[in-house]
Structure 1
Amino acid sequence: MNDKPLIAIVGPTAVGKTELSIKLAKALNGEIINGDAFQIYKGLDIGTAKVTEEEKEGIVHHLIDVYEPDEPYSVYKFKQDFTEVVDDIHSRGKLPILIGGTGLYVQSVLYDYQLEEEDISSEKMEIIKNKLKELSNFTNIELHNYLKEFDPETASTVHPNNRKRVERSIEFYLKTKKTLSERKKSQTFSGKYSTILVGIEMSREILYERINMRVDMMLQRGLLREVSNLVEEGYEHSQSMQAIGYKELIPVVKGEIDIETSKEQIKQNSRRYAKRQMTWFKNKMNVTWFQRDKQSLSEIADNVIQLSK
């Protein structure tokens, strides 16, 4: 490894990333960097499965509890924060270990990823909106054929009935004049770090069972009280409260639905999120995967340590 080594751990929610990161940090003189979009916020502890002081086992963690719940945060800000933290960790001769469930955050710092939020003039934005409005009248087949005209490669991987994905591919092209297939080919590891990117996965049945149990545990630990406190403090409409486990409980706090209905919503949304996470990691990153069904976390940690040598 070069003088700027980095280990990154990805995987769906509830799969065991935190525990694995602790094992690696203890073995490799590492410090952990949070790559979850909502653990960055103060006060969102239980619902984000934020690591506790006891669970840290003395390992230093970064980018947790940094911002107030009403402060906006983005992938652009994360890149800035991440760079500062990694440079600090390296300066002290330690190994940074990024642990992330937010795919775009992880991708943005590991790859030569060009953030596409370039300045678009109001005139150009109006033209794009009008074009998208025109395309909204297209049938699924017509819309798919339109995508095929300028990005046949992406079109070949998307079913015509997956209208949302077809629309996103078209919108990306209209805004950037680049195709998604071109962008995907350009995504290579940044030469800035010597990166080892590993992931943990497990069978869907076991993962979903773990997610359901985790939601039950969060509610037992006082998640509803945590959400109620945040609402009382005036954070109800903040970006942070869009996190799964929080947005579903706000109606309970306001007396609009019962807790059992909310609990099932949290479980369902968490399962769907885990599925989206895996789709992102599998399609957009070159991950070395380990099966937790077949190996213990200790065995996985040993394998990752071997990769780092």
Structure 2
Amino acid sequence: MLYPLLCIVGPTAVGKTTISVETALKIRGEIISGDSMQVYRYMDIGTAKPSLKERRGVPHHLVDILLPHEPFSVADFQSEAFKLIPQIFSRNRLPILAGGTGLYLKAIVDQYNFGEISANWELREKLREQANSLGNQHLYRKLRIVDPKSAEKIHPNDLKRIIRALEVFLTTGRPISSFNELAPEKRFPLKPLIIGLTMNRSRLYNRINLRVEQMMAGGLEQEVRDLLKRGYSPQLVSMQGLGYRHMINFLKERYTKEEAVELLKRDTRRFAKRQLTLFKRNDKIVWIDLDKYLEQDEIVEKICYFGRNI
């Protein structure tokens, strides 16, 4: 038996949350969050985490499951998602993977084999210290030498993935790119449909700018202050996320608030561009151009039409 899975992906601020909830309401779905930051408690505003009201009674999984200092890898996500999919299906509901973390999508659909790669926390910390003292580019150059295939797919500023790729190589002697798909007999029995949401680039960037302003008005600065008061280090992976590192730099007086906000807008736009570039490489995605629809109901109906045929 193949488990059906509807995936709704796209760049940040394109409207995945609302559309995913509306779709879930229409076709009796439960949402598995495919966002690498929404797993953390106390981090609501900067992650654009949907409120209980916005979820409208639709179950959301892998949201608020960890404290900000707790590690959560793509392998952890894959393991949890593979548990959730049959559980949701057993309730006669459709699993819906919704989010913008491209590697999470690939972990599920392409079923990367992470079982052989255990975390080496001591090595990971040493690599992070190298990045702090010598810069991200130092580690990226190392990666290009030992695993050029992975380096092509990882942005030079994506420190988390650079460190992970180097960690795997230095621990196993094999590039992380060699741990690609599971053998056919080990694959999870899955029948996925991937819907990609897109829109005109200038419209998307305007939405991103507006979202940042709404985050600031909604209390992003105070959220970061509260996290620091709780004792969470600015060096944590979670605290290096978009918005959090910008507010930390403002609070440490490295930027003015206005500079921090403008940098956050810029970096979020760049992040969205990278997301689109990654998703566009995936020929399994069925794209829906949101600019071609006047009403959101039309978009949801189109997704539901595809979803009923999984």
With the length of structure 1 as denominator, give the TM-score of the two structures: 0.77
**2:78 aligned residue:** 79
Q: Could you tell me how far 1:118 is from its partner in structure 2?
A: 3.8
Hey, what's the Cα distance between the residues in 2 that align with 1:260 and 1:164? 23
2:305 is equivalent to residue 275 of structure 1: no
**2:206 aligned residue:** 209
Unaligned runs of 5+ in 2: 121-136
Hey, what's the Cα distance between the residues in 2 that align with 1:178 and 1:69? 26
Hey, what's the Cα distance between the residues in 2 that align with 1:112 and 1:41? 24
- Give the match's secondary structure for 1:293: helix
Hey, what's the Cα distance between the residues in 2 that align with 1:163 and 1:243? 16
**2:227 aligned residue:** 230
**1:18 aligned residue:** 17
Question: Aligned-pair RMSD on alpha carbons?
Answer: 3.6
Tell me, yes or no, if the aligned pair for 2:13 and 2:207 is still in contact at 8 Å.
yes
CA 1:120–1:176: 2 relative to 1, 3 Å: farther
CA 1:49–1:164: 2 relative to 1, 3 Å: closer
CA 1:198–1:234: 2 relative to 1, 3 Å: same
Q: Could you tell me how far 1:231 is from its partner in structure 2?
A: 1.0
Deviations 1:177-222 (A, max 9, x none): 6978x969x99xx662221110100111100010000000100000
Hey, what's the Cα distance between the residues in 2 that align with 1:32 and 1:179? 29
Hey, what's the Cα distance between the residues in 2 that align with 1:241 and 1:119? 23
The amino acid that maps onto 1:306 is: Y
With the length of structure 2 as denominator, give the TM-score of the two structures: 0.77
CA 1:56–1:176: 2 relative to 1, 3 Å: same
Tell me, yes or no, if the aligned pair for 2:82 and 2:188 is still in contact at 8 Å.
no
CA 1:100–1:267: 2 relative to 1, 3 Å: same
Hey, what's the Cα distance between the residues in 1 that align with 2:108 and 2:6? 12
Q: 1:290 aligns with which of 288, 291, 298?
A: 288
- Give the match's secondary structure for 1:25: helix
**1:42 aligned residue:** 41
The amino acid that maps onto 1:291 is: D
Unaligned runs of 5+ in 1: 122-135
Hey, what's the Cα distance between the residues in 2 that align with 1:223 and 1:305? 35
- Give the match's secondary structure for 1:13: coil
CA 1:289–1:251: 2 relative to 1, 3 Å: same
- Give the match's secondary structure for 1:37: coil
Deviations 1:249-292 (A, max 9, x none): 10222333211010011001100100111111111451000001
CA 1:66–1:177: 2 relative to 1, 3 Å: closer
Sequence identity (%): 36
The amino acid that maps onto 1:231 is: L
Deviations 1:133-158 (A, max 9, x none): xxx9xxx9xxx9x99xx99xx7xxx8
**1:131 aligned residue:** none
**2:261 aligned residue:** 263
Rg larger in structure: 1
Tell me, yes or no, if the aligned pair for 1:173 and 1:179 is still in contact at 8 Å.
no
Q: 1:253 aligns with which of 251, 254, 257?
A: 251
**2:125 aligned residue:** none
The amino acid that maps onto 1:6 is: L
The amino acid that maps onto 2:222 is: R
**1:6 aligned residue:** 5
The amino acid that maps onto 1:253 is: L
